[in-house]
Each structure stands twice: as C-alpha cells, then as structure tokens.
Structure 1
Amino acid sequence: MPEWLQGNEWAAWLGVALILGVVEAATVDFVFLMLAGGALAAGATALIGFGFGVQVIVGVIVSIGLLGVVRPIAKRHLSKSTDHPAIGTARYIGQVGRAVEPIGEQHGLLIIDGDTWTARIAPGDTPIPADAPGRITAVDGAVLVVTAASPVQDLPRRELEND
C-alpha cells in the first residue's frame, strides 16, 4: 500500500464515495448512491482502525444490504410520487366544494379552494341547493360538472369550519 495512504484510508474511501455520488447525480437510479453508502461504511471502518480487508468486507456487505433493501423502497417511493399528478382543472375531479347558489342543468356556482367556479349538474341529475356540498365529476371547459355530496362525510374539514 502506498506510504501516503497508510493511516488515511478513510480519506480514500471518502473520495470513492464522492465520486460515486457524482455518478449517481448523473444516473439517478440509486445504484451508485448505495455503493457510495458502502464506501462511507468502509471509510468509517478505516477511521476506527480496522485493516484494509475488513474495510472491503464491510463496504461490500453494506453496499449489498443497501442495494437489496433501501434501493427498492426508494425507487417505489420515487415512482409513487411522480405518477402523473393531475394538473390544471383536472385536479378538481373528485373534490368536494360548496354551492354558492343553486346548481342546475344550465347554471350554478360552486366554491372550491377559495375560488368560485361556474357549475352545472349532469342532465337528469338532482339539482344542488345553495350552501350544499357538490362533488366534481368532470370539467367541461371552464364549467365544473357536479353531483350532490353528503354534507358530513364528503366535505373537507376546512369547508365545514367555514360554514
């Protein structure tokens, strides 16, 4: 082993971990991040004073453990949070608002998230009286299509507190 490295193996492992971290930033697949975790564990082992063989064994074991346990959890969490969230007016579908005025097949107003929207019910649906909750089932241009909702079960707590 080179003379300058003796007693400073931890610095070499830290350098390896940093390089693996940079590669991870380019790939974003959590493989190199897990390997960097193994390198950091090996560096900690070196800092404690164990020999090079033990450092390598600890680094390999930690890397395999991270790849087998932590990486699948991280990948699942990341993919769950990026599953095409609804944007624009589509994000209102399924939410419950409060009728500002009666909502019928031709006209009505619904307030949701502090914004007042033009609303209507689907043809043949039951009209919604003023101050009653309405669940958004579709968006037709700038008009929300709503259906009657149960006041206690469907309204968010903030809507109930505002009444």
Structure 2
Amino acid sequence: MMRSNLITGILLLVFSVIFWLGADAIPKSRLGGSVGADGLPKMLAIALGVLSVGYIAQTLLTARMAGPVIAPGREPRAVDYTRHLRAIGMIVLGAVYVAVIPYLGYILSIALLLLSVALYNGKRPSRGLLLFAVLGSIGFYLLFVRLLDVPLPAGIWPSLIG
C-alpha cells in the first residue's frame, strides 16, 4: 500500500508540473488585467503540487513510524483495482472534453461533460438530468465568458451560421 501511495504522490507531482507548463503556455492578452487567463490554472497547479508533496511526506512518515507492514507468515491482501479503473474513466471523460471543446464549443462540450459524468457515476437518464446539463452549461458560460471575460472556444457553430 505504501508503494502505491508513493507512486500516486509522485505521479500527481509530475502532473502538477505538466499542468503548470500548460497554464504557462496560455497566450497573454493585453486585456487580461493583472491576473491573466493563466492565473487560476497556475494556482491550481501550485495547490496540486503542494498537496502532492504533503501526500508523499505523509506516506513516508507513516511508513517509517509503522515499521514492517506485513507480519511474518501473513499474506498481503489483494488490491481492488475497480476503484482505479473508475478514476481512469473520469480522466478519460475529461480528456474527451478537452479534445472536443475546440470543435463543439464551450456550451455544448460542458453540457455533454456534465451529462456524461452524471451518467458515468450512476445517475439514471431523465429529463431532470438533461435539464441539469443544459442549465449547468449555461450557468458556466455566463460565469466564465460573460462575467469573468474568459475567452472560451465557440466551436464550429459560428462558421456554420454565417
């Protein structure tokens, strides 16, 4: 268990560095103000990095204080990988969202993301769920694009409409 926690912490730390580099690659705008479009992603990368280092330190300290994990003559218990597979499924949903947002645009992409995450986590298809996805996407659009002036992709729709 300690080894898997340590590997997880290191992978999260590497991901935080990659996330920082991705945020740093966001184009700068003269209209961005004192905190540009890269501000929030960089803060999230820092938070993930700090939490990853804390998780690594906690794992190492716990292992050092606990001593040997398995007593002689006892078998280690099997790891349940279904939790890991569910987490990988959530990451895949996020990756698909990032891949389709330039084509479908922000509103449709976020609506599909909200809908697919809810369905993936066991929600039954219903009109209420569809309403949640539509209203959620409109709410996020109003928050980020209109209120915070974060430029998000419109997708192919403007070119099709004229």
TM-score, length of structure 1 as denominator length? 0.28
Structure (1/2) with the larger helix percentage: 2
TM-score, length of structure 2 as denominator length? 0.28
